Chains A and B, each alone.
Chain A
């Protein structure tokens, strides 16, 4: 592993895809724990509970990657795109800052404060930029397209710069370590949000590097994922046909990009997207009332290549929205729970009970049935 790391340091190809998948395997494979917590009244809370819950699932992971996404993070700059970018070194930082400066209007930028817990190791440089897109005549959709395009460009630039998140009033913090370690390194006790996602991983074929940890985010959308998608090749090809580039070569990124396409570009409701990712069986579709049958049939015909086949459970978040979904035959665990205004999604029920022993309602959703929670709304499944 050390040799490989050294080799990478001297490699001119420091783009995310080379970095995340140095053995050039088909894709990166890992097992994981996932956790999500949302206050449906948008009250801000610290990460103490979610860190505790994630640490309770250490059995599922091996300390080679953890991460958090926080919504409601930057209320003062809520109108700016907050870019969280990791840099390999100062040279990369110089390049990245110049690139950001020439493509965006930068309102404010700073180094993300970090504590180095192990002085024998060097931490990567983390920087955040609050930006506007000051390109004339772009409507909202075009501005968002512009942002996605720029993120993909940075990740594939080979300059050693990697965008972790690019949404408004939200941010992703992730790196190599156990859930508690990463929380400490990023001083997460200083942050508050109304929606938190966490993820810890057990990678099998990816070196421990900071960019490989979850969550994966584009604009305001964030995904954490547990599982392996056997249809990866088919899904990836379809997304590439649409002009996307899979810069990290992981299943999770496939979810992030597919969600970007279906939710943001095609304006589909999340319930419909769930039916594309994990559709009902043809036999079941045939038995449905005409309208529903036609809808599901056509979704499968048109978006068959976005069916996510293989074991997965995901938590997807956007402002005011948290969704859990497991594959059609539920080969990965997913639990949903509610305590008053707090809504939880987790790989394990034990993790929820660890921080909230008395829950009002708990469900283990069937494969392919999304659990959707919106702010100021109850659990709808």
Chain B
């Protein structure tokens, strides 16, 4: 192995005045930063391994540990900055693709923070959500164009047949995280939270773990390019089926679950041998065009006897609007669009940070296109990828989405500190590791409580924002871009977002 030319990214200090050498840090750190030296009864630190996950600091009973970014800088250079230099060094040492995890961490792709919300003053009253009902219930699925209503013994009855819908009590769902990308404790935590909040959890392409079957009414099963664990019972089990075409963090490429993470448990649900890499192909090999997609949509509908909605998930890319328009015509009930800031359990750095477009732009352009073509109401839109707060949820619905997918926020609720090391399988918070000794750090009962609290908090905040606008039902926000204003955006950007500048 070549000697590394990189200095450690973080400096780790232990205050020896307060440290009791209890070894909690040695146990907690899964990256082996700490080790116990019998000689001298002290803790040795290997700071080059530190990922800044904060696990040791939180669990140190004496709060003796501090981690700070290594202050040593290269000579100032706007072009050849520290990150660029380090990436080159890493590749010079390994000769491989740089892997990373979580969503794009670059600052320049965020439009949420440049959109401002409206509120009622004088001409219409704002509504107080503490005293008046606020309705966030959302139904996802396709809607009929025309309604035939017949009078039957004075009771009007709708003759038009109904397509299946997902009922959400708040417009937030948990985005696809497969068994393998996260462990069963995380999946179960999310399932419990989904049930208690009246929402849904997408279990990704890793198959359905037997433990999750009891929550199946609140689970969306996924059919991705690897087709791991896909069979009739699997499709029948969930509340909806999602065909995954692409993912915002890595549009155009497939998934890669390293053999290290394929334990016996994963092997059983994925139906592949333990220890082998699970490599999902880049495309779905039976979908090379829109008519192929239509066939798969209908194959799934036939299999499940038209009892549940079919979602088609795509990554937000330059021609999302045209693709979405094709998806409506493919017979799908729901489109999920995943923006470029969306998370991943493992992706090449170059894909994550360079491919795709932000979710705000994608939703705005898709909603506009479907409206122009007169088909927007035929389908529901789920937005995912980069939703960090209740106001992001709110703004993306105002831009045209029906509901949204979150995953990073849910992981953070359970302990994640976004250290971006999911692909190593060593997650010290027990989220993305398959090592049973570490994954027990997630107790589904406790972790689901944290996630439920988050959803509840966001829901209350959404009601506050709605009431402030004088609106008491979420459907009146959908596509209501009049309630948004842009600040610090170019005319072109505002045109695409369909919003006007603040003050106008």
Contact = CB atoms under 8 A, between A and B. Distances in A.
Nearest to B375: A241
B294 interface: no
Interface string A280-323: 01110000000110110011111011010111000000000000
A24 interface: yes
Contacts of B146: 266
A29 B155 contact: no
A295 B155 CA distance: 10
Interface string B442-473: 00000000000000000000000000011111
Interface residues of B, number: 43
Interface stretch (A146-154, A227-235, A358-366): A227-235
Contacts of B132: 329
A301 B165 contact: yes
A26 B499 CA distance: 10
B161 to A, nearest CB: 11
Given A283-B133, A304-B475, A305-B377, A230 B124 contact: yes
B472 A242 contact: no
Contacts of B481: 233, 237
A117 interface: no
A309 B155 contact: no
B472 A228 contact: no
A107 interface: no
Interface string A310-350: 11000000000000000011010000000000000000000
The prevalent SS among residues of B at the interface is loop
A230 B147 contact: no
Interface stretch (B45-53, B135-143, B227-235): B135-143
A204 interface: yes
Given A240-B371, A282-B137, A295-B157, A204 B475 contact: no
Which among B133, B470, B475 has the greatest number of chain A C-beta atoms within 10 A?
A: B475
A311 B125 contact: yes
Interface in A1-59: 24, 26-27, 29, 31
A20 B479 CA distance: 24
A272 B156 contact: yes
B473 A298 contact: no
A300 B475 contact: yes
A228 B118 CA distance: 14
A230 B120 contact: yes
A309 B471 contact: yes
A234 B478 contact: yes
B4 interface: no
B149 A305 contact: no
A269 interface: yes
Contacts of B469: 230
Nearest to A301: B139
Contact of B124 (A227, A266, A299): A227
Interface in B150-167: 155-158, 162, 165
Interface in A224-282: 227-228, 230-238, 240-243, 266-269, 272, 281-282
Contacts of B133: 281, 283
B289 interface: no
Contact of B144 (A29, A233, A302): A302
B480 A234 contact: yes
Given A291-B157, A310-B471, A331-B125, A237 B135 contact: no
B480 A242 contact: no
A24 B482 CA distance: 12
A302 B377 contact: yes
Contacts of A241: 370-372, 374, 376-377
A313 to B, nearest CB: 13
Given A233-B482, A268-B149, A307 B157 contact: no
Contacts of B141: 301
B108 interface: no
Contacts of B158: 294-295, 298
A251 to B, nearest CB: 10
A291 B470 contact: no
Which among A230, A267, A307 has the greatest number of chain B C-beta atoms within 10 A?
A: A230
Contacts of B483: 230, 233
B124 A234 contact: no
Contacts of B472: 309, 328-329
Contacts of A266: 146-147
Nearest to B143: A302
A243 B481 CA distance: 19
A354 B75 CA distance: 86
Given A241-B374, A298-B162, A329-B132, A234 B477 contact: yes
B482 A27 contact: yes
A327 to B, nearest CB: 9
Contact of A232 (B143, B370, B482): B482
B496 to A, nearest CB: 16
A328 B504 CA distance: 30
B127 interface: yes
Contacts of B476: 230-231, 234-235, 304-305, 307, 309-310
List 10 tightest A-B contacts by C-beta distance, closest first: A233-B482, A304-B475, A231-B476, A309-B476, A233-B480, A234-B480, A228-B124, A230-B470, A26-B482, A241-B371
Interface of A: 24, 26-27, 29, 31, 204, 227-228, 230-238, 240-243, 266-269, 272, 281-283, 291-292, 294-295, 298-302, 304-305, 307, 309-311, 328-329, 331
Given A295-B149, A302-B143, 6 more contacts: A237-B479, A238-B479, A266-B146, A272-B149, A281-B135, A309-B476
11 contacts: A27-B482, A29-B123, A230-B469, A231-B476, A269-B149, A281-B133, A295-B149, A298-B158, A301-B141, A307-B476, A309-B473
